[in-house]
Amino acid sequence: MNRGQVFNEPVSGHTHDHIDWADRLALLRAADTLDAPAHAAIAARLAAKLPANPTVLDLGCGAGGMSTHFARALAAQNGGTIVLVDATPELLHEAERTVRAAAHPGNGHAALPGGHPAAADAMVEVRAIVADLADQALPDLLPAADLVWASRVVHHLPDQQAAIGALTAIVRPGGVVALAEGGLSFSCLPWDLGLGRPGLEDRLQAAQAEWFVGMREGIDGAVPMPYGWPVALERAGLAEVSSFSALVDHPAPGPDGLADYVHHHLSRLATHGADHLSDEDRATLAALLDPGSPHYLGNRRDLFLLGARTVHHGRRP
Maximum separation of any 2 CA atoms in the chain, in Å: 60
State phi, psi for 308 to the nearest 5 degrees: -145, 140
153 binds ligand SAM (CB under 6 A): yes
Query: Residue 49 or 268: which CB sits closer to ligand SAM?
Result: 268
Of the two residues 27 and 288, which places its CB atom closer to ligand SAM in the complex? 27
Map the footprint of ligand SAM across residues 45-104, applying CB under 6 A.
60-62, 65, 86-88, 91
Is 97 or 300 the residue whose CB approaches ligand SAM more closely?
Answer: 97
**Residues between 10 and 39 with contacts to ligand SAM, criterion CB under 6 A:** 15-16, 21, 28, 31
Distance between CA atoms of 126 and 55, rounded to whole angstroms?
Answer: 10
* Site for ligand SAM, residues 157 to 176, rule: CB under 6 A: 157
Shortest Cβ 47–ligand SAM spacing (Å): 17
- Closest distance to ligand SAM from the beta carbon of 8 (Å): 18
| 47 membership: H or E segment, kind and range | helix 25-47
By beta-carbon proximity to ligand SAM, the closer residue of 57 and 153 is 153
CA angle 54, 122, 8 (to 5 degrees): 90
Report the Cα–Cα distance between both ends of the chain, in Å, rounded.
34
Interface stretch with ligand SAM, choices 150-158, 165-173, 231-239, 262-270 (CB under 6 A): 150-158
Confirm or reject binding of residue 151 to ligand SAM (CB under 6 A). Answer: yes
Of 56, 83, 111, 133, the one binding ligand SAM (CB under 6 A) is 133
Distances (CA, A) of 245 to 1, 35, 42, 51, 102: 36, 13, 8, 23, 24
Closest CA to 68 of 129, 1, 124: 124
CA distances from 316 to 67, 85, 164, 295 (A): 22, 21, 12, 52
Q: Quick check: 170 and 144 in contact, CB under 8 A?
A: yes
Between 55 and 151, whose beta carbon lies closer to ligand SAM? Answer: 151
Query: Any contact of residue 243 with ligand SAM (CB under 6 A)?
Result: no
- Closest contact distance (angstroms) between CB of 278 and ligand SAM is 27
CA distance 304 to 56: 33
Closest of 263, 251, 272, 253 to residue 290, by C-alpha: 263
- Site size with ligand SAM, rule: CB under 6 A: 21
Under DSSP, the state recorded for 160 is H
- The least distance separating ligand SAM from the CB of residue 86, rounded to whole angstroms, comes to 5
For residue 157, the minimal CB distance to ligand SAM (Å) is: 6
Residues engaged in binding ligand SAM (CB under 6 A): 15-16, 21, 28, 31, 60-62, 65, 86-88, 91, 132-134, 151-153, 156-157
